[in-house]
Structure 1
Amino acid sequence: MRKLTYYVAATLDGYIAGPEGQFDFFPFEGEVRDTILAEYPETLPTVAREPFGITEAPNRHFDTVLMGRSTYEAGLPQGLTSPYAHLKQYVVSSTMAAPDPEVEIVADDPAGLVRGLKKQDGLDIWLCGGGKLAAALLDEIDVLIIKRNPIVIGSGIPLFDGPFNLAGFTLSANRSFDTGVSMTTFHRK
């Protein structure tokens, strides 16, 4: 059965973006960059794959991406209407229409969507953001991979932005990099 993996960068104080959705303060360099390019090439937007020489890199972990409206809209000013064309793309939003035929808009019941996707054949499902969607899908998240960056921003979009909901996970891997970033993997208990 496929798994839903929340693979995301975060600050030491638990934010995945600044108050206005800023995320350009997360470094993409050194060992972290090399690890992502080698192990998670499908998590780079399609337009970034050629400059990094991974145009033909196979999807290693995910063949589907799920994101909230704000996460999706971050690429629209650059004309990215299909940011992950190499993946099946779903955007959860009750307010927007599909701006691209390669992107499917899900107006309600993201948990139902995930449960249905888990029953299909394929690689795992990548939840790439945002915090409200992650909170709504907490009970469906099987794996957390958090790239914890050694910075504090004080406010912004939290890793999980929702009501109190206790969920247990078990540490399964932790890697530290030369930039001070740590990549920690947890599996649901």
Structure 2
Amino acid sequence: MRKLVYFIATTLDGHIAAPSGGDPTGPDGFWPVGQDYVEHLVAEYPETLPGPARAAFGLTAEGTRFDTVLEGTNTYRIGLDAGVTNAYPHLRHLVFSRSLTELPDPSVELVATDPVARVRELKQEDGRDIWLCGGGELAGTLYAEIDRLVLKLSPLSTGSGIPLFGRSVAFEPRGWQLTDQTALKSGVLFLTYDRV
């Protein structure tokens, strides 16, 4: 069965974005993007790079980990605000939203129904794992369905911001087993945890 993998950048204090949202790695972001970080993504997670970045690096391979990406409304809007209607044209792209009634790109699937039910359907399909790109609110909704965490842990704290699992997830302690780790010279850690 396919796994739902929450592959996300986070701070030491567990924030994935500023309190107002937005792209933490964008022009107004707070996340430092070092050369070793980009090189690691290109080598190990090339399918998680947006289409324009893949083109800049000359990446054409499908990748080996994910064939599907899931986003919530606010995460999808980051691309829209940059003029990108489908940041991941090389993946099956689903946007979960109850506020949007249509999307500007017909190749992106809008899901207005129950996210948990839809993810359970996706897990039953053949293919590679499913990448939960963000945001925190969608991750909170799908909290019980997440099989693996891949945390790109930055050596920085923000004090406040959007939490890893959003602001409304219920208190439900879960155990995770560390199954892989990579430390970059910049201090960024890639930590992989599988649900126990």
State the TM-score bracket (shorter-chain normalisation): over 0.9
Across the two proteins, how many residue pairs are aligned to each other? Answer: 188
Task: Indicate the residue corresponding to 1:86 in structure 2.
Answer: 90
Q: Percent identity?
A: 49
Q: Do structure 1's residue 175 and structure 2's residue 182 form an aligned pair?
A: yes
Please report how far the alpha carbon of residue 31 of structure 1 lies from its aligned counterpart in structure 2 after TM superposition: 2.3
8 Å CA contact 1:30–1:178 kept in 2: the answer is: no
1:40 Cα deviation (Å)? 0.5
Q: Partners of 1:27 and 1:58 in 2: how far apart?
A: 27
User: Which of 29, 34, 39 is the aligned partner of 1:29?
Assistant: 34
Residue 63 of structure 2 corresponds to residue 59 of structure 1? yes
Comparing 149-158 with 24-33, greater Cα deviation is found at 24-33
Which segment is superposed worse, 162-171 or 87-96? 162-171
Q: CA RMSD in A?
A: 1.1
**Matches of 1:27 and 1:181 in 2, distance apart?**
10
Where does residue 75 of structure 1 map in the other structure? Answer: 79
1:147 aligns with 2:156: no
Could you report, residue by residue, the CA deviation over 1:118-160 in whole angstroms, capped at 9, with x for unpaired residues?
1111111000101111111111111100000011111111101
> Partner of 2:4 in structure 1?
4
Q: Distance in 1 between matches of 2:44 and 2:109?
A: 26
134, 138, 142: which is aligned to 2:143?
138
Counterpart position of 1:116: 121
Task: Please state how far the C-alpha of 1:20 moved relative to its aligned partner.
Answer: 1.7
Q: What is the letter of the counterpart of residue 111 of structure 1?
A: V
Structure 2: runs of 5 or more not aligned = none
Q: If the length of structure 2 is used for normalisation, what is the TM-score?
A: 0.92
Contiguous gaps of at least 5 residues in structure 1? none
Supply the AA of the counterpart residue of 1:63: D
Give the Å deviation of 1:9.
0.3
